Amino acid sequence: MAKETAILAGGCFWCVEAVFKMMKGVESARSGYIGGKTKNPSYRDVCNGDTGHAEAVKITFDADVISYDTVLDVFLVTHDPTQLNRQGNDVGTQYRSTIFVANDAERAKAKAAIERANAIWNGKVVTTIEDATTWYEAEGYHQDYFENNPYQPYCMAVVEPKVSKARAKFRELLKPEAASAR
């Protein structure tokens, strides 16, 4: 197994986590905070918008099953990478669209993925590339949020449409149980 990690921020972390938990080769998708200046931030701190952190998801995957390039392509299609510091009604730098990279190879792949996405989004992608900094895992109740709360109003209105889009567009990449769900 060629284990790799990607850290992605694309609005509310519940959405990004829910999409990637369905993908073949994804070992884990954990919600957390990265890219800010406050040590050990809480959800409340990050939501205030003054810590500099983004809500993000750390995805651990088997690169022999799903490549880093494919992870980035799924990410850039299942949220709106043309919205600066927001996703829908979630507004602020904590909801920015960012690919956090650990090295130059990841940076080059991120740049190439953004170019591919620009072809889809008519050159309007605003997703940034930032160096990965200290990762802070979010509180336990944020983990597997959509799985545990599928009928919560936000999940039904915001998360479910992104999950459905991923199911429709990336059916061949889904774990069998995700492909047959809802």
pLDDT for 161 equals 95
Output the domain CATH number for residue 45: 3.30.1060.10
With a cut of 90, say whether residue 7 has pLDDT above it.
Answer: yes
Q: Which of 19, 31, 145, 135 is nearest to 72 (CA)?
A: 19
The model carries a pTM of 0.96
Q: How far is CA 97 from CA 85, 104, 112, 143, in A?
A: 7, 19, 16, 20
Task: Work out the mean pLDDT of the chain and round it to a whole number.
Answer: 96
Residue 106 belongs to some domain of the structure? yes
Is 155 noted as a catalytic residue in this protein?
no
pLDDT for 119 equals 96
Residue pLDDT, tens place only, 74-89: 999 999 999 999 999 9
| Helix 13-21 and helix 160-169, axial crossing angle in degrees, nearest 10 | 30
Residue 181 belongs to some domain of the structure? no
Identify the domain containing residue 80 by its residue range.
3-174
What residue has token string 């047959």?
Answer: 180
Q: How far is CA 76 from CA 4, 153, 162, in A?
A: 18, 25, 12
Percent of the chain clearing pLDDT 70 (strictly above): 99
Quote the number of domains for the chain: 1
Long-range contacts of 167-175 (CB under 8 A, 24+ apart): 167/22, 169/77, 169/78, 170/23, 170/74, 173/23, 173/24, 173/66, 173/70, 173/74, 174/22, 174/23, 174/24, 175/22, 175/23, 175/24
pLDDT mean over 15-43: 97
pLDDT for 65 equals 97
Residue pLDDT, tens place only, 63-75: 999 999 999 999 9
124 φ, ψ (degrees, to nearest 5) = -105, 15
One-letter amino acid identity for 27? E
Residue 84 belongs to some domain of the structure? yes
Q: How far is CA 122 from CA 10, 29, 69, 74, 80, in A?
A: 19, 29, 20, 17, 12
Percent of the chain clearing pLDDT 90 (strictly above): 95
Residue 182 belongs to some domain of the structure? no
pLDDT mean over 129-133: 98
Structure tokens at 93: 């730098």
Residue 134 belongs to some domain of the structure? yes
Structure tokens at 140: 């336990």
Confidence at 179, pLDDT banded by 50, 70, 90: confident
pLDDT for 115 equals 97
Residue pLDDT, tens place only, 49-62: 989 999 999 999 99
With a cut of 90, say whether residue 168 has pLDDT above it.
Answer: yes
